[in-house]
Chain A
């Protein structure tokens, strides 16, 4: 069984630039790790500044979208002396195939990291076939 690349069940659907945003602010694509385990797929996304109340996860027509809103109100009384990162929201979409049990997706947010556990559907789990002697 190929372990990398070819049998991706979760693929990047689109970049954030393709769709117009309804909010006038920058939208970033969060860096994401995707790990395949035997009975699940783990998706880990870096979304600093987002907590569980500001995380929006939707699954529609086989497309999983994560959207994190960042409260930009902070440090407004200060002057920016040096900047390496911009403040904005995060969005990224992934296509989810039938091999994922779409009713069993777990999500947790801790220290600005979103962790999604996508359980594989029963039929997609690897099965061992024993060969009988004839």
Chain B
């Protein structure tokens, strides 16, 4: 039986997430570089804690002002763009692997987040977004009274 908050439930969820991740990983390995970058750039990790969630995004070489973060319920959307090197006459790319252009990506958070209290920082090419859990959504501890 699955009861939210029950230890086994957490464990089941971890397995499911891990399977999801593995499936994506396998898909990525076989797809080579033919899949358009927009589908997977930038890579997002979600770290959860009891009362807040950390979203880290690998977006090296961007201007932080060009990135837009919005939160709606439990979905965070990230959009922005990365410019490619401007070439002059007689210059050419020998190899171009770094994704460029505009991107838009949404990620589902483990719980509803308060969009007004979002903190974001950008360091070493990693964007870190800290989102607190909506107050009304926090788990409440229910004490059992004994007579």
Residues on A close to B: CB < 8 A? 3-5, 8, 10, 31-38, 41-42, 44, 46-51, 75, 77-85, 110-113
Contacts and interface: CB of A to CB of B under 8 A. Distances in A.
B53 interface: yes
A41 B92 CA distance: 10
Contacts of B91: 35-38
Contacts, number: 123
B21 A83 contact: yes
Contacts of A3: 90, 92
A44 B49 contact: no
Nearest to A113: B61
Interface string B93-120: 1111111000000011110000000000
A50 B44 CA distance: 17
Interface residues of B, number: 41
B127 to A, nearest CB: 9
A35 B92 contact: yes
A80 B107 CA distance: 14
A75 B56 contact: yes
4 smallest CB-CB distances across A and B, nearest first, come from A112-B125, A112-B60, A78-B47, A85-B43
Contacts of B126: 48-49, 112
